[in-house]
Structure 1
Amino acid sequence: MTGLFLELHLQQKSFTLEVDITLPSEGVTVLYGQSGSGKTTLLRCIAGLEKNVRGTIEFKQEQWHTDNKFVPTYKRNIGYVFQEPSLFEHLTTQQNLAFASKRVKGDKQNNEDHIIKLLGIEALLDHYPDQMSGGEKQRVAIARALLSNPSMLLMDEPLASLDTNRKNEILPYLEALKTKLNIPIIYVTHSPDEVARLADHLVVIDDGEIITSGPLSETLSRLESPNHLNAELGVVIDSTISEQDKQWKMSKILMSGEELWFHDDIHKNANEVGSLVRIQILASDVSLSLSARLGTSITNCLPATITEINDNLDTGITLVKLIIGDTAVISRISSRSAHTLNIHIGMKIWAQIKSAAVIR
């Protein structure tokens, strides 16, 4: 069995965690849910930090936990990044990193140089923790976790204690980890923005149970996902810039042959034709029309087919799943509008995409 296999049960005083899932052996898997849903508890189970766990935890055919076997945390070859950096205050960055590199076999210097460069902490090596910002300290903490040369990286809401500016400072480094590291990352968050920017695979947890899981684009387009997830995220599309209009700061991608234009501050984002980008289309930014309208400020009006409808009359909101070529998009409209348009599954319609934002 490849990947991380989890079939476990944990009973606590007022909480039960029940999980049966296999997570990918590559990319970033995000555990998403509200506070108290069980995300961190599941991460601690993977790390071997929770007692009284029943079931099986297996990573790449190596059993870490069964009812008759328990591999302690230090033998699981994992890196763990907590919400707080927890650096040694009396040591410099270089000295903090030295503790982690002790266990590394082989060429320690090349490994350390690579990690330091990847996280952009070259200028911080002689700094003490009280001389660094929260974002800088967290980057050092991530470097420390990686210097043990782990086979898996666990991250427990590493941006939760940071303000918006510090989050924006560290997110590009987290995105770089996806492409530069050949290990799976399991990342806990309750932030939709972090899901959109970082996730390859999404697991939604609520009250100790997995509500839905799968590749990010597939999971976000499921109408049975929690309404707050659909409303706040819509869908995320990874594509390549095919054309740019520098006069109006616009870039274009192709979605199954259909053109999608979006605002792109080309100078600021340093995107070029051929660049890989991740585009977010919020469900609330997709409206429906029976015809291709002219004389409107909406840039994108694309032919689509309705494949699924979730009409919640209690809230007056209808979620509509559309397929544009073979790309799924979600529209969030009022139930009154859905009734007026007389929408139904299989119906050909026009998707008016008011806004699409580049998030990576």
Structure 2
Amino acid sequence: MAEPVLAAELRQEAPIPLDLGFALHPGEVTALFGASGAGKTTVLRCLAGLYRPRTGRIRCGGETWFDSDADLWLPSHRRRIGLVFQDYALFPHMTAEANVAAALGHLPRAQRAARARALLALVHLQDFASRRPAELSGGQRQRVAVARALAREPEVLLLDEPFSALDRAVRVALYAEIEALRARLACPIVLVTHDFEEVARLADRVLVLEDGRIIAEGDVGAISARADLPIIAAAAEAGSVLDATLVETLAARRLSVLDTAAGRLVAPVIDAAPGARLRVRIPARDVILADRAPEGLSVHNALAGTVAAVEPRAGGLADLLVAVGAARLRAQVTEDAVSRLGLAPGRPVVALVKSVAVTRPGA
């Protein structure tokens, strides 16, 4: 793995507890995930220079931003960061172009207008440069905020729940914008969110926070399998996240074949070329467990595995982790099924996967 762009250690007991350390790598999207009050935004504010913790250090790009031992604190305007807030924080009296140009103070004045227009084009807003924020939709205002954040040529891009105020259709469109930017930028991106759908779609790595501490970290697939973590187990549409490669498309059958750590999976036809890298999600409720491979079913995917863990849940249900190949799949079954099938750690099973949803399109 490449050397980290940024390394941070943040410690304090009050008023907001912090006790964590982490590193950010080039081109990687790191999600800070947790419930409200977990410390996500406070960590982001520390990186941005908007909040000074009692002790710790932050180094970025060979420069020290914070070192409590040396009483060093670099203010926000001297850090090369791009920051996008939930509420956009645009100047209401300025046009979109002027809002972006306001962050280009490091350039000669004669170059700012052209650069601002180029950044608006990057987020597909070149035709809206003369509009003020009140004349833009929520999604368009958020795009202006992203363009302004990029204007500083940041070493780190910080996104503080940037999609939470938008409806689903606009959020999905903006996910695609962030993915396109990620492919072009070498800098790390930090995404603060309490929505695991955003994590599954955008993140490469997840830091799960609770009371200012990292209680779990890892790639998205590994974290999605942590049914022992209440916040993961309770995530909407709980399930498994797998990185995948498109092997082939069976055009006549309207199906695509994917290679994953759990083995080969068949999904509804995907509009991408063979070799495309994807991310797929398998809802826990769409995984059926059997003691042998059945015949005559409409389900295409039958994967041999072994029960790794059983976690009882409310309402007569249980969450199971099934080791399949190099992956772990989550399944949700009734307590009655656990009893009837003798589902316990070490028990061989066949996981029947009813649906596979693409959460990250091909790249």
Q: Normalising by the residue count of structure 1, what TM-score does the alignment of the two structures yield?
A: 0.89
1:300·1:353 contact (CA, 8 Å) conserved in 2? Answer: yes
Partner of 1:216: 220
The 3 A distance-change label for structure 1 pair 104 and 226 is: farther
Among 266, 273, 294, the alignment partner of 1:261 is: 266
Among 83, 87, 95, the alignment partner of 1:80 is: 83
Paired with 1:171 and 1:118, the residues of 2 have a C-alpha distance of 14
The 3 A distance-change label for structure 1 pair 109 and 322 is: farther
2:313·2:319 contact (CA, 8 Å) conserved in 1? Answer: no
Pairwise CA distance, 1:140: 0.8
| SS at 2:103 equivalent | helix
The 3 A distance-change label for structure 1 pair 208 and 310 is: farther
Among 4, 10, 26, the alignment partner of 1:2 is: 4
Partner of 2:321: 321
Question: Are 1:163 and 2:171 counterparts?
Answer: no
Partner of 1:197: 201
Which shifted more, 207-216 or 144-153? 207-216
2:309·2:322 contact (CA, 8 Å) conserved in 1? Answer: no
Write the letter of the residue equivalent to 2:329.
Answer: V
Write the letter of the residue equivalent to 1:211.
Answer: I
Pairwise CA distance, 1:3: 4.1
1:255·1:325 contact (CA, 8 Å) conserved in 2? Answer: no
| SS at 2:102 equivalent | helix
Partner of 2:185: 181
Deviations 1:2-35 (A, max 9, x none): 343222223444x422223334343100011112
1:309·1:318 contact (CA, 8 Å) conserved in 2? Answer: no
Pairwise CA distance, 1:322: 2.4
Matches within 5 A, 1:231-246: 232-246=237-251
Partner of 2:21: 20
Which shifted more, 71-80 or 233-242? 233-242
Which shifted more, 85-94 or 2-11? 2-11
Partner of 1:134: 138
2:226·2:232 contact (CA, 8 Å) conserved in 1? Answer: no
| SS at 2:172 equivalent | helix
Pairwise CA distance, 1:129: 1.4
Q: Normalising by the residue count of structure 2, what TM-score does the alignment of the two structures yield?
A: 0.88
The 3 A distance-change label for structure 1 pair 90 and 184 is: same
Give the alignment's Cα RMSD to 1 decimal: 2.6
Paired with 1:58 and 1:341, the residues of 2 have a C-alpha distance of 53
Pairwise CA distance, 1:117: 3.4
Write the letter of the residue equivalent to 2:76.
Answer: T
| SS at 1:359 equivalent | strand
Among 250, 257, 264, the alignment partner of 1:252 is: 257
2:56·2:66 contact (CA, 8 Å) conserved in 1? Answer: yes
Which shifted more, 132-141 or 336-345? 336-345
Write the letter of the residue equivalent to 2:160.
Answer: D
1:196·1:233 contact (CA, 8 Å) conserved in 2? Answer: no
Which shifted more, 135-144 or 332-341? 332-341
Partner of 1:287: 288
Pairwise CA distance, 1:77: 0.7
1:118·1:176 contact (CA, 8 Å) conserved in 2? Answer: no
| SS at 1:31 equivalent | strand
Question: Are 1:115 and 2:119 counterparts?
Answer: yes
Write the letter of the residue equivalent to 1:194.
Answer: E
Give me the identity figure in percent.
33
The 3 A distance-change label for structure 1 pair 61 and 317 is: farther
Partner of 1:354: 354
Aligned length: 354
2:97·2:117 contact (CA, 8 Å) conserved in 1? Answer: no
1:250·1:262 contact (CA, 8 Å) conserved in 2? Answer: yes
Pairwise CA distance, 1:198: 0.4
Write the letter of the residue equivalent to 1:260.
Answer: L
